Structure 1
């Protein structure tokens, strides 16, 4: 009896959580219908219509800004935003992070690595993000790398560490496999 209950839970819980997340995302994106003029809004609520409109707007923005005129307009817009005192720091920081995460070169997480953390006798998976820069590198003696240690099961929060390269072990594992391993709390082990 217990075995059947656990088997049922293992099937239904991921399905329910997936449905809940999708419902949350679609409901959030449906709120974009508020931006549509009242005359153009549907008379009855159509679930997902706002999500479709949002995705279409994002896609069209990408298409329009991916040509010479669009790139010129984006540069002009960014120059304007960079002249506004508070906006320039917020916009610049967000743009830098989003450029890194969404770039086609994929330099956000370069490699999955194994590091001693939180102490010498335990280890965790981290992601190589680069090397220390700026004034920080002037204060580090030796060869250091920058790593991001994600938390489980939410890898979007975590810790940024600078570690000696000799203490970092590069893993023969893709970044995707490492993320699955982390999100599953070690249950879904890579091959």
Structure 2
């Protein structure tokens, strides 16, 4: 049984990342293809089914939109369109929130995370890795006593959720590792150590004294 368990886990560790990747890509591709209306389907246009036609069409529309909005006329039209959406109460809130996040994460000249940092969270003496995202806004900074920075502390193993903290700059230690390396370290729950820092295979735990007075 130990032999079967060992090789089963080995095979699981090989297949799990691949299956998860295919699953996410399948959902993403399916979502993009569902955006194509029925009158633009290959059956409606050509009378035959063409696998992947909807995906190619969506990618082409995204590419052409980027090319069009890169010039002056495109930016002017986009500005008017955003101004129109900004006048619709519910749509305005959703659109502006999504746009701010997408501009921060996907902008070519932007960087969502500036540096990987080490902070004490959720209590003194407990350390975790976070990411420096900037400084508090003017209104909040005026109410804080001292020099504060904005830090995002992701959860493990899913770094897309986490906690937004505003901490004194003196309590934040900047790490030499890159943001990508820190993310791998967090996702792996500390198993994948940064280059130059081999993972610790055995932890020396302090002896715990039992009620009978013997150390274990």
* Structure possessing the higher radius of gyration over alpha carbons: 2
Give the corresponding residue for 1:179. Answer: 183
Give secondary structure in 1 for the equivalent of 2:37: helix
TM-superposed deviation, 1:60: 1.1
8 A contact 1:32–1:51 mirrored in 2: no
- 1:40-69 deviations in Å (ceiling 9; x for gaps): 2764362x4333222221111101110111
Q: Tell me how far apart the structure 2 counterparts of residues 142 and 41 of structure 1 sit (CA, whole Å).
A: 66
- 2:9 counterpart (2, 6, 10): 6
Q: Which residues of 2 match residues 142-157 of structure 1 at below 5 A? A: 142-157=146-161
Aligned residues: 190
Give the corresponding residue for 2:128. Answer: 124
Give the corresponding residue for 1:27. Answer: 30
Q: Tell me how far apart the structure 2 counterparts of residues 164 and 124 of structure 1 sit (CA, whole Å).
A: 16
8 A contact 1:153–1:183 mirrored in 2: yes
Give the stretch that moved more between structures: 80-89 or 8-17. 80-89
Q: Tell me how far apart the structure 2 counterparts of residues 188 and 41 of structure 1 sit (CA, whole Å).
A: 51
> Are residue 40 (structure 1) and residue 45 (structure 2) matched?
yes
> Are residue 90 (structure 1) and residue 106 (structure 2) matched?
no
Give the corresponding residue for 2:76. Answer: 72
> Are residue 62 (structure 1) and residue 58 (structure 2) matched?
no
- 1:8-42 deviations in Å (ceiling 9; x for gaps): 22212212222222222222222123354352276
Higher relative contact order (CA 8 A, sep 6+): 1
- Greater percentage in helix: 1
> Are residue 163 (structure 1) and residue 163 (structure 2) matched?
no
Change (3 A) 1:35 1:123: farther
Q: Tell me how far apart the structure 2 counterparts of residues 142 and 16 of structure 1 sit (CA, whole Å).
A: 48
8 A contact 1:112–1:178 mirrored in 2: yes
Q: Tell me how far apart the structure 1 counterparts of residues 21 and 49 of structure 2 sit (CA, whole Å).
A: 26
Q: Tell me how far apart the structure 1 counterparts of residues 35 and 122 of structure 2 sit (CA, whole Å).
A: 43
Change (3 A) 1:190 1:42: farther
Unaligned runs of 5+ in 1: none
Give the corresponding residue for 2:113. Answer: 109
Give secondary structure in 1 for the equivalent of 2:35: helix
Q: Tell me how far apart the structure 1 counterparts of residues 182 and 139 of structure 2 sit (CA, whole Å).
A: 31
Aligned-pair Cα RMSD in Å? 2.0
Unaligned runs of 5+ in 2: 196-216
Q: Tell me how far apart the structure 2 counterparts of residues 35 and 131 of structure 1 sit (CA, whole Å).
A: 47
Change (3 A) 1:41 1:112: farther
